[in-house]
A and B are shown apart, each in its own frame.
Chain A
Amino acid sequence: MRLERRPYVPLAYAIVSPLAAVLAALLLAGALIAAAGVSPLAAYGEMLKGALGSRLAVTEMLARATPLILTGLAAAVAFRARLWNIGAEGQLYLGALVTAWAGHGFVSTLPPLLGIPLLMLLGMAAGALLLLGPTALRLGFGVDEVVTTLLLNFVAVLFVGLMVEGPLKDPMAFGWPASVPVASDLRLPDLIPRSRLHIGLLVAVGAALLVWLANARTVWGAESLAAGLSPRAAAFAGVSLPRTLLGTATLSGGLAGLAGAIEVLGSTGYVTTTLSPGFGYAGIVVAMLAGLHPAGVVAAAVFLATIFVGADAMSRATEVPSFIADVIMSLSLLSMIVALLLATHRLVR
C-alpha cells in the first residue's frame, strides 16, 4: 500500500478537511478536559457561551480575531512562496512599537484621516524590515530563515522591553513598564458602540480581500506561487527568485507589522511586552487551517478567536486551565496536515 497524489482535489475535500481536523482536535482535547475532572460537553458549552453567547462576547471574539486575520495572512502569503516566516510575533511587536512611538511623537498632531493611515504604514514598514533582513540573509548567504526569524522574535520582544523601560517609558504609568500612549485622536473608532471592537476588523478583512486579489490577479501572485511550488522551475521560466521573495517578505512582514499597529491603535493605545499572547505563532496555525487561502484565513481566525475567548470564559467557570485553547490550536494544526494529506492523496494497493 502506498499514497498516490490525486490528479485533482474536489472542492468538497478542501472544505471538509479543516472541519474534520478541528473535530479531531476537539475530541482529543476533550480527553484532556475529562482528565481535569470536567465533562467535555459542559466545558465546550461554556466555551461557546463565552465566545458567542452575548453581544459583548461576540464583539470580544471579533476583536481577538482581528490581529489573527492579519498574522494568518502574513504566514499564508509567505508559506505560499515557501518563505518560512515564523517571525510574525516579532514583526508584530516592532510594528506596534513604531506605531506607539510615532503616534505619541511626530504624527500626534496630524488630523486622524492622515495620521491613522500613516501610522499603519509605519507599522507595516517596521514589520517588513524585520523580515527583509532574514530574507536577504537567505538569498545572500543561504541562512535558513526559519531559525533567524524565530530567534528575532526574542530579540524584538527584548527590544520592546528596552524601549518601554527606557526612552519610550510612560512617566504617567506609575512604574508599570508601558510605552507612551498614542494621541487619543489617532485611536481607531469603535465599530460597535460600547464594545472593544474597532474598525481594525474592517481593515483586516479588507487586507484579506486585497491579498486574495494579489494572489489571483497579479504577476507577483503567480510568481510567488511558482517560487513556492518549484523554485528551480520558476527560475527556469524567468521568475527572479530574489525579487519575488523580497516582495513576498515585504508583504508578509508588513501584514504582521500592521497587526501590531492595529492592536495599539484599536485596542491598547500603548505597547507593553505582553501586548501579544502569541498572535504571531497562532497566525501559522490560522494559515495552515485555511489552506493558505485568504478567505479561509478569515474563517480560521474567527474559529481560533472563538477557542481563545471561549477558553478564558471556560476556565473562569470550570477547573479547566485556559491553556486548553493552545492545546486545541496545536492539535488542529497537526490533524490538519494529516487531513490535507488524505484530501490530496489516495491509498493504492
Chain B
Amino acid sequence: MTGALDLLLTASLWAAVLRIATPLIFGTLGALLCERAGVLNLGIEGIMTFGAMIGWLAVYQGADLWTGLLAAGLAGALFGLLHAWLTVPLGLSQHVSGLGITLFASSLSYYLYRLLVVVGESPPTIQPFRPLPIPGLSTIPFLGEVLFDQAAPTYLALATVAVLSYVLARTPLGLAIRMTGENPHAVEAQGLNPIRLRTGAVVAGSALMGVGGAFLTTVAFNSFFPYMVQGRGWICIALVVFSSWRPGKALLGALLFALFDAYQLRLQNAVPGVPYQLFLMAPYLLSILALVLVSRRARVPEALMAPYRRGER
C-alpha cells in the first residue's frame, strides 16, 4: 500500500494531472459559457469528437499544429452556430437539439475519417505538440516539471480560465452575458439583444469545446480513432454544475477529476488482480457523486433552458 501512496508524491503524476485536465478545462469552460448565457449545450460530446478529428486531419494533411487547433475551434463554432440557431431564435428543446448535434457531429467525424482510412488499417499518426519548457522556471525541482514543462495548449487552457473569469466577472460584456442567462427580458430592457448575446456565447463556447477535442489528437495521442472522446464531454457538463458556473472552480474541478483519473491509471499497475474495468468505471461514478453533493444547493442560472421570445413572458 505504501507504493500506492508514494505515487501521489511523484512529479510525473502531477504533470499528468495537468495534461489530463486540459481537454476537460477547455470543454468545461465552453459549456459554462453557453450555460451562463442560458443555453445548455449537450452537443459538447460530438463537438469534441469533431474537433479531435478535424485537428488531426488538418495536421495529417500537412498543416501546422496550431492551424489544426484553429480548424477545430472554427468547426466547433460552426456546430455551435447550428445549435444556437435551433435553440435561440427558434426556441427548440435544448436537450433534443444538443443530443442531435452530438449524434450529427460524431457520426460526421467517423464518416469523414472512414473516407480517408479504411477499416483495419492502423490509424495514421501525426507528430504531436512537444512539451514546451518555460526557460528558467522549468528547472525548479518538482514544480518545474509539473507546471512549466507542459505542451503549449495546456498553457493556453490555463490562460483561457483567467481570461474567461475576468470577462465574465469584470467587463460589461460579461455582465450582459450573465444577465442573459438570468433574465433576458432585463437585457432587452437595457437596449441589448439577448438573441445575439446567446448566439455569440454558444458559438464561442462551442469553439472552446472543439479546441478541447483537438487536444486529444494533437497532444494526448497522435492519431484519431472512433469513440476516442469516451464521455469526456458529458463529464464536462457535470463539472459545470460542480463548479457552480464559475471558471475558477471549473479549473479546480477539472484538476480534481484529472488527479483521480491519473491516479487510477497508475493504481491499475500498482495494484494487480483488481479488474481494470472497476478503475475505468470510477471516474463516471465520481462525477455522479459530485453532482449529488452539489446539486441541491447549486445556483443554476435562472433562465437556463428557458427559450427567449420577444414580448412573451
Interface residues of A (CB under 8 A from B): 2-3, 32, 35-36, 84, 86, 137, 141-144, 146-148, 150-155, 158-159, 161-162, 165-166, 281, 284-285, 288, 321, 323-324, 326-327, 329-331, 333-334, 337-338, 341
Closest to B85 in A: A338
10 smallest CB-CB distances across A and B, nearest first, come from A326-B107, A321-B114, A330-B103, A330-B104, A162-B277, A323-B111, A333-B100, A158-B277, A323-B110, A334-B100
Contacts of A165 in B (CB 8 A): 275, 277
A142 touches B93 (CB 8 A): no
Closest CB of chain B to A79's CB: distance in Å?
8
B275 touches A162 (CB 8 A): yes
Q: Given A144-B295, A162-B275, A330-B107, answer yes or no on A341-B92 (Cβ-Cβ < 8 Å).
A: yes
B111 touches A327 (CB 8 A): yes
Which of B63-71, B137-145, B249-257, B283-291 has 4 or more CB atoms under 8 Å from chain A?
A: B283-291
Contact partner of A146 among B95, B101, B104, B281, CB < 8 A? B95
A323 touches B103 (CB 8 A): no
B96 touches A155 (CB 8 A): no
A337 touches B86 (CB 8 A): yes
Interface flag for B278 (CB, 8 Å)? yes
Contacts of B106 in A (CB 8 A): 326
Interface flag for B155 (CB, 8 Å)? no
Which of B18-26, B146-154, B199-207, B231-239 has 4 or more CB atoms under 8 Å from chain A?
A: B231-239
Q: Complex formed: what's the CA distance from A144 to B150 in Å?
A: 35
Closest CB of chain A to B176's CB: distance in Å?
23
Closest CB of chain A to B89's CB: distance in Å?
9
Q: Complex formed: what's the CA distance from A331 to B90 in Å?
A: 17
Q: Given A151-B238, A151-B287, A329-B103, answer yes or no on A142-B298 (Cβ-Cβ < 8 Å).
A: yes
Q: Given A326-B107, A337-B100, answer yes or no on A146-B42 (Cβ-Cβ < 8 Å).
A: yes
Q: Given A86-B99, A337-B100, A338-B92, answer yes or no on A327-B296 (Cβ-Cβ < 8 Å).
A: no
Contacts of A288 in B (CB 8 A): 96
Interface flag for B97 (CB, 8 Å)? yes
Which of A36, A288, A321 has the most chain B CB atoms closer than 10 A to its own CB? A321
Q: Given A327-B107, A338-B92, answer yes or no on A152-B298 (Cβ-Cβ < 8 Å).
A: no
